[in-house]
Amino acid sequence: MHELLYWLDLFGVIVFAFSGALMAGRYKLDPFGVVVLSAVTAIGGGTIRDVILQVPIFWVENPRYLYVILATAFLTIIFIRCPKRIPKRLLLVSDAFGLALFAVLGTEKALALGTAIPVAVLMGMMTGVVGGMLRDVLCNVIPMVLRQEIYATAAILGGALFTFFLYLELPQPVAIIGAILGALALRLAAIYWRVTLPAFQILEPEESPEDSK
């Protein structure tokens, strides 16, 4: 079971690092900028989670995650010569995989540390969304989690499904894979059909001709 969690976590780091590198390429950052954006996207959420839970930060304890991020960033630079020609949907899809993986794995880690279920689901959501949020802020873009995108909702669904599957006493590997697929399906469906949440908007009253005098 521990090995499954490790490889899923590593795969999540790869896809999030790839999405960060793609974003860096779209904004014409230098190689150092590509590595920074890849790292922030891949380990930002897990770092905040571990700090809050007061446990050793996962990439400090195991530097292999950093090597994987470096390799992913440089391979992206080498093989994707024209990032602007890469469809934006590829960035969204790779980000969706990272979101689903980290949301469930973050929830699993929090539950294993004995936190309450609502706290564990929140930790999972933070693991999934904070890296992408930091990436977007560094690129001067409004983070997807703050827009109408079905983003944090998918992360919450993943964590909630995982806890529900455990309540049904499903084997933990089945619960993890099922929850990841559920979160991923929601996010990909939202991308494909462009489904968004309603926006909160305060309309200013139109100025009358008398008011403008």
DSSP string, 94-138: HHHHHHHHHHHHHHHHHHHTT--HHHHHHHHHHHHHHHHHHHHHH
Question: Per the confidence metrics, is the pTM higher than 0.85?
Answer: yes
* % of the chain beyond a pLDDT of 90: 78
d(C-alpha 100, C-alpha 157), whole Å: 9
Q: Of all residues in the chain, what percent carry a pLDDT higher than 70? A: 95
Q: What is the pLDDT of residues 13-70, one digit of tens each?
A: 999 999 999 999 989 999 999 999 999 999 999 999 999 999 999 999 999 999 999 9
Q: What is the Cα–Cα distance from 60 to 145, expressed in whole angstroms?
A: 27
- Give residue 173's pLDDT band: very low, low, confident or very high (50, 70, 90): very high
- Residue 185: how many other CB atoms lie within 10 Å: 14
Q: What is the H or E stretch that residue 183 is in?
A: helix 172-193
At residue 213 the predicted structure's pLDDT band, cuts being 50, 70 and 90, is low
CA distances from 42 to 5, 128, 135, 161, 172 (A): 16, 9, 9, 23, 24
Distance CA 102, CA 154 (A): 11
Sorting pLDDT into bands at 50, 70 and 90, what band is 147? Answer: confident
Are 111 and 199 a contacting pair, CB within 8 Å? no
In this prediction, residue 175 carries a pLDDT of: 97
Q: Which pLDDT does position 16 carry in this prediction?
A: 96
Positive/negative CA dihedral, 144, 146, 151, 155: positive
Beta strand extents in the chain (DSSP E only): none
**pLDDT value of position 159:** 98
Which CA distances in Å does 200 have to 5, 43, 148, 203?
Answer: 38, 31, 9, 10
Residue among 125, 138, 101, 119 nearest 20 (CA): 138
DSSP state of 29: -
CA distance 7 to 4: 5
> CB-based contacts of 190: which residues, under 8 Å, 6+ apart?
149, 150, 154, 196
